[in-house]
């Protein structure tokens, strides 16, 4: 059987045979390199601003932030830096550009969004007991939970300080939006933890979608909306770009969940079946469980068994087949395509000229298909 998920994520190596987005199949190579260029350019613009902000922190907060961003090793010596793909700052800058604004004035705001994202990563890693982030030990495993919590708090404050000190007329509205987004992210992270504690048959697909929107879609939407504010856009365009980012974020989450079952070893290093081994209630799994099929009953029974530990879980193949037989995989692919189509509709509302929307579209393609 063709592993469409892997195809979707490897369009850099060749065109996808089947993907969640039907548009622009022929343009993929172009979009791929465009996204890579936009991301590299965003990283280059935002990094000096980020470094300057982090360097302004007092001793220990600075050290933890520099470690978390990959700019220092745990012992304080310089490191090459693996600060992630800069997707959120790239969305801010691409949104400014799509609406005819000057990207240069929004670099600080883009850095504030990236700091906010990283504050949530620091805290989520503490909460989820995750031990690896960007191929390195998470900050709390190196510096302890208390200091990781405090460093996260400091990064949230730093992000807000950057916007509060920004004389741009859109800065206050951007700060308010970013703060609202943090509240939504917090509730989303709470919902995620709460869902994972519940029995699979008590969890509805709507709850999981709402959680994914809060936890993943909200900040992507906020990044785009902040870009619109820095371009001086009106209320309608700001909201439409927020909607674009949210919908693309949902599509991204669906694809990420498929990768958590069928794998993408060439790109993320996340092994196939990882989410099944963790008995994660990811979107394809919950969709499968809700299907009322015999495969759903089998999956429920398999998910109820405790995991015997890495490498010993002989049920993983049966689970993956049950998710597929119950329609969870097809649902996720269809739903990701639907979300992407909604994202593009929102984008068209905000940016009527398709040639201006190219950067945002390329980034959305990138996050949902993991082209590179």
* Nearest CA-CA partner of 262 in 212, 204, 206, 330: 330
By CB under 8 A, is residue 158 in contact with a second copy?
yes
* Contact call for residue 187 and a second copy (CB under 8 A): yes
Nearer residue to a second copy within complex by CB, 29 or 193: 193
| DSSP 3-state of 86 | coil
Among 35, 38, 173, 364, binds a second copy (CB under 8 A): 173
Count the neighbouring beta carbons within 10 Å of the beta carbon of residue 283.
26
Altogether, the residues listed in the chain come to a count of: 372
Question: How many chain residues bind a second copy (CB under 8 A)?
Answer: 44
Nearer to a second copy, 180 or 345 (CB): 180
Which string of b and e fits 124-155 if b means at least 16 CB within 10 Å?
bbbbeeeeebeebebbbbbbeeebbbbbbebb
Q: Please tell me whether residue 66 binds a second copy under the rule CB under 8 A.
A: no
136: which strand partners? 133
The tokens describing 288, both together, are 């499968």
Alpha carbon 118 to its chain's center: 12
Contacts of 233 (CB under 8 A, 6+ apart): 99, 101, 241, 350
CB of 153 to a second copy, least distance (A): 5
Q: Using CB under 8 A, which of the segments 40-48, 66-74, 176-184, 238-246 binds a second copy?
A: 176-184
For residue 110, state whether it binds a second copy (rule: CB under 8 A): no
C-beta of 186 vs 297, nearer to a second copy: 186
Residue 216 touching a second copy (CB under 8 A) = no
State whether the Cα torsion 200-201-205-211 is positive or negative.
Answer: negative
Site membership for a second copy, residue 203 (CB under 8 A)? no
The smaller minimum CB distance to a second copy, of residues 7 and 184, is found at: 184
354-to-70, 176, 334, 350, 351 alpha-carbon distances in Å: 37, 30, 24, 10, 7
Residue 172 interacts with a second copy (CB under 8 A)?
Answer: yes
Q: How far is the CB of 151 from a second copy (least distance, A)?
A: 7
Kindly list the residues in this chain that would bind a second copy in the complex (CB under 8 A): 57-61, 119-120, 123, 126-127, 145-147, 149-154, 156-158, 160-161, 163-165, 171-173, 175-176, 179-180, 182-184, 186-187, 189-191, 193-194
């Amino acid at each position: 059987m063709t592993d469409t998920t892997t195809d979707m994520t490897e369009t850099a190596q060749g065109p996808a045979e089947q993907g969640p987005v039907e548009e622009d199949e022929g343009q993929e190579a172009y979009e791929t390199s465009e996204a890579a260029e936009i991301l590299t350019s965003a990283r280059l613009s935002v990094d000096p601003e980020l470094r300057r902000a982090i360097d302004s922190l007092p001793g220990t907060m600075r050290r933890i932030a520099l470690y978390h961003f990959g700019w220092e090793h745990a012992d304080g010596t310089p490191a090459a830096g693996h600060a992630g793909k800069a997707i959120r700052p790239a969305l801010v800058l691409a949104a400014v550009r799509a609406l005819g604004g000057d990207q240069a004035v929004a670099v600080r705001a883009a850095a504030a969004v990236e700091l906010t994202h990283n504050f949530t990563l620091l805290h989520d890693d503490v909460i989820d007991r995750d031990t690896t982030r960007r191929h390195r030990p998470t900050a709390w495993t190196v510096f302890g939970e208390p200091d990781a919590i405090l460093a996260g708090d400091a990064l949230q404050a730093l992000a807000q300080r950057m916007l509060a000190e920004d004389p741009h007329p859109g800065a206050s509205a951007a700060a308010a939006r970013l703060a609202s987004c943090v509240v939504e992210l917090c509730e989303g992270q709470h919902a995620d933890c709460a869902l994972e504690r519940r029995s699979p048959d008590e969890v509805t697909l709507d709850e999981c979608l709402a959680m994914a929107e809060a936890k993943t879609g909200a900040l992507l939407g906020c990044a785009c909306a902040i870009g619109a504010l820095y371009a001086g856009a009106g209320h309608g365009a700001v909201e439409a770009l927020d909607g674009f980012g949210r919908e693309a974020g949902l599509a991204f989450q669906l694809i990420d969940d498929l990768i958590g079952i069928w794998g993408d070893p060439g790109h993320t290093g996340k092994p196939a079946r990882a989410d099944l081994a963790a008995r994660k209630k990811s979107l394809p799994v919950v969709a499968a469980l809700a299907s009322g099929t015999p495969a759903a009953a089998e999956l429920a029974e398999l998910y109820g068994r405790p995991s015997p530990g890495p490498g010993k879980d002989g049920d993983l193949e049966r689970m993956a087949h049950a998710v597929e037989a119950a329609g969870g995989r097809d649902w996720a692919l269809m739903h990701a395509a639907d979300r992407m189509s909604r994202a593009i509709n929102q984008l068209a509302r905000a940016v009527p000229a398709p040639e201006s929307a190219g950067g945002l579209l390329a980034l959305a393609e990138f996050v949902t298909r993991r082209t590179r």
